[in-house]
Copies of this chain bind each other. A is one copy, B any other.
Amino acid sequence: MNPEDADLATAALFGALEDPALNSMNFLNEVAIHYPDAIPLAAGRPSEEFFDLADVPRYLDVFCRYLADELGLTGEQVRRTVLQYGRTKGIIHELVAKNVRLDEGIEVDPESVVVTAGCQEAMFLVLRALRADERDVLLAVSPTYVGLTGAARLADLPVRPVRTGEHGVDVADLVAVIRRERAAGRRPRACYVMPDFANPSGLSLDLAARQRLLEVAAAEDVLLVEDNPYGLFHGDAARVPALKALDRHRRVVYLGSFAKTVLPGARVGYVVADQRVAAADGSVGPFADQLSKIKSMVTVNTSPIAQAVVGGKLLAHGCRLADANARERRLYGGNLRRLVAGLAERFPEGGGVTWTAPSGGFFVVVTVPFPVDDELLEVSARDYGVLWTPMGHFYDSATPVRSLRLSCSAVSAEQIDNGLDRLAALIADRRGRSADGAATTV
């Protein structure tokens, strides 16, 4: 069809529709769909090895029996809770509060929890609430999760990058960015961080870095938005407490996801927002109540059927998802070790190819001696049969990047080995071509 025959043009629609941040996920999905036989070292989705359709009715039943037996609801009330419209902040808030206490050491009033349609909605609610006018800006450790950048676009909230340091965040740069923004008349509202096995860097903050970050947040009066989808997949390493568990002054808004620990298909996440907010009428309530107002105009409430499935799994495991995910943790830990060892076997030291070696999470970043872009991904998918993610997708700028992200969550050991062989072939060919190119221009 000719563009002249169109009914609308993106030029007359929301500007961000042409923004790379909103097109990134579509592009990456399309490459994956177009090359279904390519080995998916790109996908950040959880393993399907333990998926069981019977879990859905089983967990639903566990949750309904809890409503009846533990909470004393009548049959009519149970049906209403699971099948009718319901509480905007959710129906599993008590279980979520118990879960973050047991798994993360976070003590929080269930009234400070908002259950959301996936963690992505939680992100959008927080950013939309924090954006009062055009002076407001968000800080984010760069490279950052593309969903954060996208949610910020929807909330018209500019994102200012903070440098990644040795332990995930360069705290000195954070302070410098805050002061530079303030000097320019802008208001830094919060800094987004993924302290555990970050997507995409794989890096984690050590305890000292976390404490330093909390001090800076208090001293500079900004919030920290902590996103923690991978904390339970810490391999063999000991866990470091979540920022929110260390937060004594309500500086941290905590985002949680059940996509990797229960089921992606439930699309249930949550936000813990215990900041005390004073309203114009003098009343004071948790920030969660403000987020709830926004949620009532985005999704009204999170599907109680989906919440019941998640609630049932929580109940079946005493609200401890760390234990419930022991086999997943072993699977991901084993895959990660195999991936890192496989890189070492294929790329000799000093050869110009380097990589991160996180102790947990899903992701490894590989740096190569040539630029990595979407075109190279297409070549890799078509001619070499392996998918990965160009790191450029995680930077909010068009600067050329020489690295790529590998994911080990949704592949078998054999796929890791074959995928790395294919990646090694691509890198060898591309390096050869760069050398040829260099030779011809001499």
Contact = CB atoms under 8 A, between A and B. Distances in A.
Interface string A399-430: 00000000000000000000000000000000
Given A53-B79, A266-B303, A309-B305, A297 B7 contact: no
Contacts of A121: 117, 298-299
Interface in A269-311: 275-280, 282, 284, 287, 290, 292-294, 296-306, 309
Interface string A238-264: 000000000000100000000100011
Contacts of A128: 14, 154
Interface residues of A, number: 92
Given A3-B278, A57-B57, A129-B14, A118 B299 contact: yes
Contacts of A298: 120-121, 124, 151, 154, 298
Contact of A297 (B130, B154, B268): B154
A300 to B, nearest CB: 5
B53 A83 contact: yes
Contacts of A82: 53, 56, 265
B83 A263 contact: yes
A92 B2 CA distance: 30
A302 B13 contact: no
Contacts of A57: 56-57, 60
Given A10-B279, A300-B267, A305-B309, A85 B117 contact: no
A237 interface: no
Nearest to A87: B29
A70 interface: no
Given A10-B280, A14-B130, A151-B298, 7 more contacts: A7-B287, A8-B287, A14-B131, A26-B292, A117-B303, A121-B299, A265-B303
A150 interface: yes
Contact of A85 (B45, B83, B304, B309): B45
B129 A299 contact: no
9 contacts: A7-B275, A14-B129, A22-B293, A22-B297, A51-B80, A53-B83, A82-B265, A121-B298, A128-B154
A302 B9 CA distance: 27
B84 A277 contact: no
A90 to B, nearest CB: 12
Contact of A129 (B17, B151, B303, B306): B17
Contact of A277 (B13, B150, B265, B280): B13
Contacts of A15: 132-133
A29 to B, nearest CB: 8
A83 B275 contact: no
B26 A277 contact: no
Given A79-B48, A303-B306, A9 B297 contact: no
